[in-house]
Amino acid sequence: MKFTRRLLFAAAATVLMAVQAPAMADIKFGIAAEPYPPFTSKDASGTWVGWEVDLMNAVCAQMNEKCEIVDVAWDGIIPALTASQIDVIWSSMLITEERKKTIDFTQMYYDTPPAIIGPKNGDLDVAAEKMKGKTLGVQVSTGHERYAQKFLLPAGVEIKTYATQDEVNNDLAAGRLDYVLANSSALFDYLKTTQGADCCELKAILEKPDDPGIYGEGVGGGVRKEDSALKEKLNAAIAALAKAGKFEEITAKYPDLVGKMTLPKGM
């Protein structure tokens, strides 16, 4: 009888602790394996750092959830989500109608304009007709590739695609490309590196075309269509952080991003 009572007391204590303790669950955030500074990259110790990582940590703290980062190749990141290998895509993914056919998205958590960089020669004219016969590099499966295919390829610009942004930048520095089109914030960061500063310069900040099929609705977190509860929690956390000024606080740690991003507004 005493043994039975001890079991009952232990069970009751376990239930009480479960009721009192905050709900914690592992949420796997998928980040493209290649570096994409200043948003995501690994430091010397192999720890993920960057603006999106800081935001992820703030979102998870707001939700009172335990989160884990999972490295995924960019071209396999949506399949990894639909196969439940990750729970959220958190990797500067643009919200587009085409992607919405397969997955769902949180609200936008940042947006930046595209930009073109090229070798240091002082020529800042990047009109499509001026770029005819030149080679432009873009990362595959991005809004930049869609922009190049629609607006530059018909003008006679050769488009070369790469698996990662690092590969694009390296080929530009090596003289195998004439131009690179990418996220302006990522290119600003590259131009601060030794390689970027030595080889290249900003040619132009581009206006996004009035075509949601190109650059979509800004960057959001990708979730499975059936995970509506997780989407709601993420949206609530993003809204709460925006209202509290947390986006501006995080961005202040990255001076080159200040004033160059569209961020959610607090309600």
- Secondary structure (3-state) at 63: helix
116 CB-contact burial (10 Å; exposed 0-12 / middle 13-18 / buried 19+): buried
For 230-239, what is each residue's pLDDT tens digit? Answer: 999 999 999 9
Arithmetic mean of pLDDT over the chain:
91
Cα angle 106, 109, 112; round to 5: 130
Could you please state the CATH topology (level 3) that the domain comprising 2-111+218-257 is classified under. Answer: D-Maltodextrin-Binding Protein; domain 2 (3.40.190)
pLDDT at 25: 58
| Cβ 239 vs Cβ 153: under 8 Å | no
Name every residue whose Cβ is closer than 8 Å to that of residue 1 and which is 6 or more positions away in sequence.
none
pLDDT band at 265 (very low <50, low <70, confident <90, very high): confident
CA atoms of 220 and 100, how far apart (whole Å): 11
For residues 149 and 159, the answer to whether their CB atoms sit within 8 Å is yes
Q: Where are the domains of the chain?
A: 2-111+218-257, 114-215
Instruction: State the virtual CA torsion across 130, 133, 139, 141 in degrees, nearest 10.
Output: 100
Question: In the predicted model, is pLDDT for residue 160 greater than 80?
Answer: yes
How far apart (Å, rounded) are the C-alpha atoms in residues 8 and 63?
33
- Does 2-111+218-257 match 114-215 in CATH topology? yes
Greatest C-alpha distance within the chain: 90
Topology classification of domain 114-215? D-Maltodextrin-Binding Protein; domain 2 (3.40.190)
Q: What are the Cα distances from residue 154, in Å, to 124, 129, 135, 264?
A: 21, 10, 13, 35
Q: Is 72 left (phi over 0), alpha (psi -120 to 50) or beta?
A: beta
Return the closest-CA partner of residue 262 out of 203, 183, 162.
183
Q: pLDDT of 4-48, one tens digit each?
A: 444 444 444 444 444 444 444 599 999 999 999 999 999 999 999
**50-101: per-residue pLDDT in tens?**
999 999 999 999 999 999 999 999 999 999 999 999 999 999 999 999 999 9
Whether 5 and 64 have beta carbons less than 8 Å apart is answered as no
